[in-house]
Structure formats: C-alpha cells, structure tokens
Structure 1
Amino acid sequence: MESPRPDRGILTQVRADRHATDTARFAMLHDAADTLLDELAERYMVDRRETKELLGPDEALVRMVRLMPRTPAAGPLAIAFTDFPGLAVRLGRWWAEALPACGCDDCAEDPAELVETLRVQTSALIEGGLWERVRRGVGGSWFETRLIGVGLRARREGPLTPRDAREARRSGFAAAVQWAPWPRSRPAG
C-alpha cells in the first residue's frame, strides 16, 4: 500500500469507488474501532477527545476520536470514522492507515482482516513500538516511521512540506523519537 500523503489530511484516500458494490461490509470497522477505543480508554491513562473534523479540503465532516496518553513521551492515537464506511487511523505523528485502503470489489479487502490490522498496529503503538524522525535530503525533508510489534515489522517514509518539517524539528523530531509505552490505569479498589 502506498503511504498516505501527509499534506492531504489524515486519510482522504478512502473514497467510495464506483466499482465498490458492497461497501456496507465495512461498517463492522466502525463497531470494532468504537469497542477498541472504549477498551483503551478504560485500560490506560489517556484523555479521550471527540470532535467533528474535515479530513481534507473537499471532504465532509467526520467523527474523530483521539486518545492522548497522559504522559507526553507516549504516542497519541487518532481514528476518523469515514462515511464510506471506513477508518482513517493515525498513530503518533506520521503513521497513517486507511482501512480499507481501497474498498473496491477487485481488491476484495476482508473487513475481519482490517479489524486485525487495526488491533495489531494499535497494540504496537501502546507497547512503545513506534519510532519516528525527520531527515533532510537534497530534495527536502522526509518523515520516516517504523512500527514494530507482535507479528508486525513495518517501515514507511514520505515527503514533508517545508512548514511541516520546520514544525517537526521544533517539536524534537530532528532526532529519532521512540514513543514510550502507554501508562496503565490503576485498578479500582
């Protein structure tokens, strides 16, 4: 799958395709994401923020849920619920995943496998398996990410706008950032 372009919102790649005849099969992604978000908010010390946001300049408002760990060393999670239906998932600063990536009949993406992808990637973030950095090159600056977890070892990179690169370097991403594990909530009692 091609990495999402960082200059186009969190996930504008997920769109209704004229060759997608059974998009309703992806509705289970919304239920799975809601369940996952509820579990994580209960299990970990995070702040939950729900808003309506635009994913891009030509997009409709969508429901966005963010879980922000109460320690700044741990990476945030953001999930947008698209009308397709699908999900736009962001881990940390630059790891973005479109679920489904396409949704057309030819690609035949399995919703159950997409739910597993969501869970595996989120688990890797929570356990401290996300690494990110900005690097400069001849043609400009690039983001680089690595996500490592149980059954997962992935790497992505892509270009940054000059403004995003400056802001990232100001935020400490000039050196590699290894996001910390999420802090667990204390059990009641």
Structure 2
Amino acid sequence: MHEAAETLLDELTERYVVDRREAKEPVGPEPGAEVVRTVRLVPRSPAAGPLSIAFTDFPGVVLRLGRWFLEPLPDCGCDDCGEDPALLVTDLRARVAAHVEGGLWERVRRGLTSSWLETRLIGSGLRTSRQAPIEAAEARAARREGFAAPVQWAPWPLRAP
C-alpha cells in the first residue's frame, strides 16, 4: 500500500495545482497502527478539498478526504480477512479520483440531543455515504466554517500543460 500511495501522491502533485506538505501527524483515529508519516495535498483553490494520506507501520495507509471522510486501507489486516492488495489499491485510486473530480459532499446536521456529520463520495463506479456523531465543539466550529449547509468540494485545478 505504501508504494501505491506514494505513486498516487506523486501523480496528483504533477497533475494538479496543489501544495504538498509532509509531517508525522495522524489524519484521524488510527486503527491500532502508528503513523510513520503523513502527506497532505492542499489545492490552491479554497473551494477544492484537501487530501491526506497517513502511512502507518502496519504497513497500510489511512486516507482522509475533505474534512471528515476517513478510510483505513486495509480496513482490518488480519490473515482471516485476507484483503487483496490489488483491490485495495483500486479502492484508493477510485476514492481519490472521485474527490479530485468534485464528488465529495459534507455537512453537519443537528439532532435533538447531538450533532451528526454526513459525507457522500460519488464517482465513476463509486457511491458511498456515511454518518457519525460529532462532538459539540467540533460541530460548532464546522457550522462557523460553513458546514451547516451541505458543502460540495470543487474539482481540483489542473496544472497548465
């Protein structure tokens, strides 16, 4: 997964107008693995959503798209699950392609007793949506930043040929 993710990041950096930042910060709750390093691509258009890939010592990756879409690859990693590395790479590329083409939608929704975050990712052959509870402080911050209404991230700007 590390090699495939590194190749994908290099391709994205060459094709799109983005700033590339490297650190050793997690992108979210890591599933029992320590982060070796994190690469974050931030489009120079503020309407386009960021992308982060955390490389774990598993060796796997954790993909973060926009503000809340989080996907560990592989999801489990135990021998019984036997996740196919080729399929994981295909999933990684499909999710990233949907995001850079403007297919990620996010928002915070208020409930009676708490708030929820919602994400939808739609791309070629891909349609996934998720809901999860969100802490009150993060929900307030997200609403201040415009996430009370649905936010659809714009496509990433292409580099001039």
Short-chain TM bin = over 0.9
Deviations 1:116-139 (A, max 9, x none): 000000000000000000000013
Partner of 2:95: 121
Structure 1 gaps, min length 5? 1-28
Counterpart pick for 1:168 among 131, 142, 155: 142
Residue 97 of structure 1 aligns to a residue whose secondary structure is: strand
2:55–2:61 contact (8 Å) kept in structure 1: yes
Q: How many pairs align?
A: 159
2:33–2:56 contact (8 Å) kept in structure 1: no
Structure 2 gaps, min length 5? none
TM-score relative to the length of structure 1: 0.81
Instruction: Check if 1:52 corresponds to 2:24.
Output: yes
Cα distance in structure 2, aligned partners of 1:163 and 1:41: 33
Counterpart pick for 2:115 among 141, 148, 163: 141
AA partner of residue 93 (structure 1): R
Deviations 1:55-87 (A, max 9, x none): 659864520000000001001100000000000
Partner of 2:72: 98
Cα distance in structure 1, aligned partners of 2:95 and 2:125: 10
TM-score relative to the length of structure 2: 0.94
Residue 53 of structure 1 aligns to a residue whose secondary structure is: coil
Instruction: Check if 1:183 corresponds to 2:157.
Output: yes
Distance 1:95 1:78, change over 3 A: same
Query: What is the RMSD of the two structures over their aligned residues, measured on CA atoms?
Result: 1.5
2:42–2:50 contact (8 Å) kept in structure 1: yes
Deviations 1:37-63 (A, max 9, x none): 000000000000000124659864520
AA partner of residue 84 (structure 1): F
Residue 133 of structure 1 aligns to a residue whose secondary structure is: strand
Cα distance in structure 2, aligned partners of 1:59 and 1:85: 8
**Percent identity over paired residues:** 65
Instruction: Determine which structure has more spread, i.e. the larger CA radius of gyration.
Output: 1
AA partner of residue 31 (structure 1): E
2:115–2:134 contact (8 Å) kept in structure 1: yes
2:35–2:57 contact (8 Å) kept in structure 1: no
